[in-house]
Amino acid sequence: MKKNNNNNIKTTTLSAQVAITKTECGSNLIQGLPDNPRAGLVEPFHGRGKCQMFNNGAFEFIQEKRLRGKPELKVDYGSLSFSTDGNDRVIFTVPAEIRAQLPKVLRKGIKEIINYLKKEGYSL
């Protein structure tokens, strides 16, 4: 591993093979298979990003930062979060089994969120 002067930037260079498999649903499964695999070689991660493969075989992957913040308030089946991208989010996830009760669930959740926002000093 090569470290740059900036403590926040690390570069790890691997010698590896890249396997590209077309899945049944039509998307590509891209795997990097190191020549000398060993535990601790790289720090594992999971996330979304953008990747590109050039016609000479070079491959790049850039992981996207999660823009959404952790929920400020959690209510039954929902949450309120303030994110770094300038958008505030109210998200409800309701199981299909209680779909018939959806209007009641939404009214109750929104009422709790509005009360929280009033208590925090937001004008409505």
One domain for residues 56 and 11: yes
Domain count, the chain: 2
What pTM does this model have?
Answer: 0.51
Answer whether residue 101 is part of any domain.
Answer: yes
Q: What pLDDT, in 10s, does the model give residues 21-74?
A: 998 988 888 888 899 888 888 888 888 889 888 888 888 888 887 766 688 999
66-116 pLDDT, tens per residue? 766 688 999 999 999 988 778 889 999 999 999 999 999 999 999 999 999
CA atoms within 13 Å, Cβ hemisphere of 39 = 0
Co-location of 59 and 99 in the same domain: no
Domain that holds residue 87: 73-119
Check: CB of residue 95 under 8 Å from CB of residue 105: no
My answer on whether 14 and 59 are in the same domain is yes
